[in-house]
Structure 1
């Protein structure tokens, strides 16, 4: 039993809990928000610091690349001078592995490549296939390549490269290789918690730094921490991405270092290390809340005892009255003047009023007993009369049902006859339309046959003309072929003549050389002759050169003429085949014309037969229509009879339903009478328990 004492205690406890919650929840939220904002702000600062360190690490090699590009562009570079300048530029920095320049000329064609370590590639070295060359040649600002493991040092390396221009055109590429091993030490202390870890990732998420060197450029961060892959699209270079509850009990910090590198700084660790201060604050608040609840319970007990004692006295008195023989003459005595005393006084007045009501009910019970006996007799008489009426109505309903079934069967038979007549009429109508359509189609076919006959006649005439043209074409093709063969033979004669010219030029050149020798022997007297000999030599050389060109052109002409001769032969064969096909087609056209003339005669006979059939179908359609109209009149009369029978049957059904309702009402009235009798007896038994 949930007593008043317990209610007072729990009510007080509920008020205290609600008040404590209203105070504690906002405090916990404020504390949580403040601590999370502090941790997030620290994370942003750590991300910015790490990014600044990495960019600072890359700034020096980028500056060196820009300076050396200016040096190469402004000097007529020499190998040793350039190598010394490169060596001085990276001296003293162990992270700067190699500085070099390569021009745009392939090594096999005399290209150059100078480096601080004086490495010289072989002629088979294809610099244009290297990523540093491909990225650098396209930009005048430093570009960063994808990191790779150097074959000599076995350390991760990346290359920064840019193009060098002279007079507005690309001259070559300056590049510097950077060892990335120092980056691990550079960011190892940049972390948010004691056991947290920080890494630099390449554009694909592979490790560039890791305390486990076996994972560098081999393992993928998002495979080791698959829950973090969901945040890849939220990482940018503008601001660090921070999630203190990234899943799996981890926090996650990430910031893109720069678009030029595509690298990302990430830091990950246990979330509970960041929220330790928050847990301490919440624990303290919960302890204070428990102390307040304990004090509230003790206070509630102390307040409830003076109130519960008098209420207990009233409870005992009421139970004594209730546990007796319902003696309404008994009264509760209590001397208190407070609200409880007023409650007891009201209860005594209620018992006194109840005593008067019970006395009146006893008198009324006896009167109801006499009335109930009279009602039972009347209900019995009404029930007998109603049974007789229901029997008569049921007999009439059976007769009307038999008549309705007969009318329905007649109506169904007439309807079936009507449907058969309608079906016959539709069939006749369809036949009439079919005959009409067939007649029209045959007439149209006759017209088409006439048209086809005209077309076939014109085709026969055309094929005769085509055959004559084809024969003429064959004859013309033969003449062309003979002329082409003649041109081919003339071309061979020209080649022989050109060969003779070439031989004359060769002999002339030899003669000019001999004349020049003799002129030289003659000394001053032979100078004029030497000039003439030199001009003759030049003329012979020009003649020889022109002869070679003419020979080449004649060779091409001969080749072309040979091709034309072959094509001409193929054309002659095609003309003959076309002529044969035209003759064959002309014979088929003449056969088609004869067949179409026979079909035209047969189609005219079909049209005459269809006209006779159409006339007979029209007479049958008129007779069927008259039969359908007579049948419809019969069907309408049967439908009217069916409706009348239905109305009578519905009226009888309504009478039967009404009589059934009256019977049910009589039965219910009898049941109510019996229930009333039982209720009067039960009320009398209960009223007799009261001592009034």
Structure 2
């Protein structure tokens, strides 16, 4: 790089300043980056620890709620009442009131020691809900407080966990109170509202790595981090802050375990969020450095310019001297006594010495020019004769070389043709083999298609039989529905008759009582009638009781008939669906059968075409072998011609070498003579340019 003196001074200084400022900025940014990253780590760990403690405290509060509920005497009454409807109803009502008062609970219930629901806020669960196999029940029935794993609610799909507490009569466990806690209500209010900046959020996993709280609700109870590298750290290592990569984004995460449940609460923020203020700081550092460097460069430019102006003045004077067409009489102007003016004085002295030397050289160069002209004339005549002999030999040699090159090219071309024929022969052989294999594969494919077609035909017959059976079943179901409706209607008549029997029994009982009263009034005369009246009353009571039993049986019968009717209707709908699906399947099989038949015809056409191609390929293979034999014979003759041409070429080359050597020597002498003359002329002309007087 061609730099002026000013640039040579400025450039190292500027580079030193830039490197120094860059190093200072880099060190400053690195220290601040480390400090900011440490602050973020401390903040994440602090938020994580506080939130984990809040979650643990909240769970313990729920546990205390259930412990307090377990002390209510109403549960003891429900468990010790042998299923008294009044006591159970009161317990159900009380449980429902507790659920309404505590919206965090989705279900509250009482279990007996066998795990069967003795009371529940949903009365339908009483006597049917069985939780005997659940681990939280087994722990509670043994006298321990228990918290279950997080599971998905069957009611609304939200994450819940169950708290179970023993219900005791003195020191004896007589049952278990359990409550399903809605975890999402708490996490929506606490976990989702944690502010970790743009792109940061918090989530929570259980002890098995399953996500139980997350701002992306689709991940709750679906995402499993147990197999991820960071998930293994969360579950198995001590709480800390660590980096990991998720979905191509590098993040910083802190985690803490909830002591009561072994859940893991996690706070994470993307590193991009941490680097954003660092980038701003870098920009400020760069702008500051640019401003400082700019000020220093301007200052240095002014100082150095004052020094280089004097040197530039001397350079301009020397340039004028150089451009003066060899005028050695010109001198530099001396304006002062400093170092730069001293340089000018010495330059003037040097120019005087050079002028004297040039005068001497001019005189000697004129004499040398005359001698060079005489030598050039003699050498030119000798070179002309030698060149004529050499030209004749070179002409013969050129033609021999052309012939040899032609033979070599023809041999190479024939070799390429022979190689191409061999490759062609191999390709044709592979093509024939490939066609044979393709033909066999297509024949196998046609056979397979025929087999599939036959299977579809047999399947179509089976589908038709299934269709007819479905239609018969559908009609039978319809008949059963009509019969069940008739039975239901007739049972209503029987129910009315039963009620009439009960009414008659009641009236008879009343008449018997009146008769007994009248018999009592009659004294001894009415004793026999009183006995009869008492028997009639007993018969009336029995008839009324039996009528009630008949009415209850008829009601149960009617309910059973209605259930049967609904089941039969549903079965009929399913038969109808089977019929429709069977019909659709038959239509699809017909389409497939048609497509397979078309495929069979197309495959046969392809097979015929392949047979034609196989015949043509066999003919081409025979022709290729004939060409290969002929090519080998021609190549052998060309090789013989090449050997003869090479012998002639070697003989001519020996003759040419001697002539060329002589010609080169003469030409070199001639060239040296011409060059010497030119140099002498140049020297004379250059000497004439200098002005010495």
- TM-score, with length taken from structure 2: 0.46
Structure possessing the higher radius of gyration over alpha carbons = 1
